[in-house]
A and B are shown apart, each in its own frame.
Chain A
């Protein structure tokens, strides 16, 4: 793929994989100079890609405690020694999460097992929470980051059983949430009051990119090459607004593929 360096043509479908498209679509969500909270896996690929393309001044914060590291080798997890290579500061969770709460982060990449139309995400348990059929990893920083970051982007697998009318457990808050202790459904703005800063802005899956309207309801923005509106609808478990669909997601360029395979993840940790 060395020959693809500085070839800015759109790659043909046979020359890239879905994960490549996801990394590139994620990277395009990052603006230059933003402070970005990212987790393990695709988020790392997306933000690092952004730093190599449209957002060279973006800073990556990993929740284990590194701030604007410039790894010489891709970290395999956020606690990795590689995260803090040439970092501005390396400290710990208390420090980076306090910065999040104070309002120093601009956007974040997160994942999830289930999502509803309001962007409420479940990463905790499948089935009845008190008697689950499958216990998952749990919240980690997902709910914290999604609570107080002005913009969050979810990267998820597209399946009907994951895009649900109601998720089994709300781990991470979307645009319409339950106000505890009453449990009444309210807008996110009401639940967060003066601490409201924004919320989920995009969901990127293996089939499409979704965004949220002014009422916080998910709509189809673009579908990936090879998919279409019908295919996307078949894989969403709630009534989906497709009226505003702009068409196909822009594929990666050859130069972006070169970066992904030769510069960002040459060891094939997340892409192989």
Chain B
């Protein structure tokens, strides 16, 4: 087991050490909340290819990776930017152009797939989405593309399975296959200097995603002494020995929000969404905000203090009381 010192690294170091072409990745957060954007931008900068995203839902981070051509397979249930963009325009375009493979599941299916991965069991049963086209065998996209032949051990031989409940009454139940990504990349509020992870606010599917993956990269708003984070162990989510990389990057989830730290940057995401409606628009955006800035701190400098300060939360409420959210 490594000590905290070995785990401590920068965003570029974490990406070059832990993300390889073709890897299966998953993330912390929910749609436009607590996504590891600093790492996502760096993955684009390092031009990683053929990534296989397996996530409960996606959002702005997924659209950045897909727009930049880093993603070959996307297995999930949802793509959008909530109020600031109702669909993923990069995903939508690339699906229509056959530039990406999409495997659709439901929210529960994806939660259970990662939970099964986290539990070390091959599948979990559920009754959700019976009767829908999600289960239509004609729409098994990875099967159609020949990816269920066992050559990739992380892709299950079947999209779904069925079984009779032999314990209580024989009702048919649906089984969803476990998902065990190579790497989970998480953004959280606090991590101890040996790796103990604290998540404040709603945990979304953080626990399942972080525990399902073989490697866990944790980016935090701040690194604190391990002895301090251990004072209230009930508040902690992930033990240090499951963490492989510790990165300190304040504002590292921007433009997505981070409970207790900063608001979703709706204006920035709405502008991003409008640019993603064409590949040229996305490419110009990516050049301006990713490839032409050397690192995430330069990106923050480009946004500027006033812009970021407006997103900073009121710590009594855990959200901003100043940011303009609606028409009034």
Interface residues of A (CB under 8 A from B): 40-41, 63-66, 72-73, 76-85, 90-94, 97, 100-101, 124-125, 129-144, 147-148, 169-173, 177-181, 183, 186, 188, 191-195, 265-270, 272
Chain B proximity of A206: nearest CB distance (Å): 17
Q: Is the CB of B139 within 8 A of A130?
A: yes
Given contacts A81-B201, A141-B106, A173-B130, 12 further A-B contacts (CB under 8 A): A80-B257, A81-B318, A91-B203, A101-B128, A124-B133, A130-B138, A134-B96, A135-B92, A141-B77, A143-B106, A143-B107, A180-B131
Residues of A within 8 A of B133 (CB): 124, 129, 169-171, 178
Q: Is the CB of A94 within 8 A of B208?
A: yes
Q: Is the CB of A139 within 8 A of B202?
A: no
| Contact pick for B76, options A81, A132, A138, CB 8 Å | A138
Q: Size range of the interface on B?
A: 35 or more
| Contact pick for A143, options B102, B134, B144, CB 8 Å | B134
Which segment, of B2-10, B81-89, B279-287, B289-297, faces chain A? Answer: B81-89
Known: A177-B132, A269-B325. A90 touches B205 (CB 8 A): no
Q: Is B1 an interface residue (CB 8 A)?
A: no
Q: Is the CB of B83 within 8 A of A101?
A: no
| Contact pick for B87, options A92, A129, A137, A186, CB 8 Å | A137
Q: Is the CB of B31 within 8 A of A138?
A: no
Residues of A within 8 A of B129 (CB): 139, 143-144, 147, 172-173
* Best-buried of A129, A131, A186, A191 by chain B (most CB within 10 Å): A129
Known: A41-B83, A178-B136. A91 touches B127 (CB 8 A): no
Which segment, of B36-44, B146-154, B258-266, faces chain A? Answer: B258-266
Q: Is the CB of A140 within 8 A of B77?
A: yes
Residues of B within 8 A of A139 (CB): 77-78, 104-107, 129, 132, 134
* Best-buried of B132, B204, B266 by chain A (most CB within 10 Å): B132
Residues of A within 8 A of B132 (CB): 139, 143, 170-173, 177-178
Q: Is B304 an interface residue (CB 8 A)?
A: no
Known: A94-B115, A138-B79. A77 touches B264 (CB 8 A): yes
Residues of B within 8 A of A79 (CB): 29-33, 82, 202, 204, 257
| Contact pick for A93, options B56, B171, B328, CB 8 Å | B56
A43 to B139 alpha-carbon distance, docked (Å): 30
Q: Is the CB of B104 within 8 A of A124?
A: yes
Known: A81-B257, A144-B108. A64 touches B128 (CB 8 A): no
| CB under 8 Å from chain A, chain B span 81-133 | 82-83, 86-88, 91-92, 95-96, 98, 102, 104-108, 111, 115, 126-133
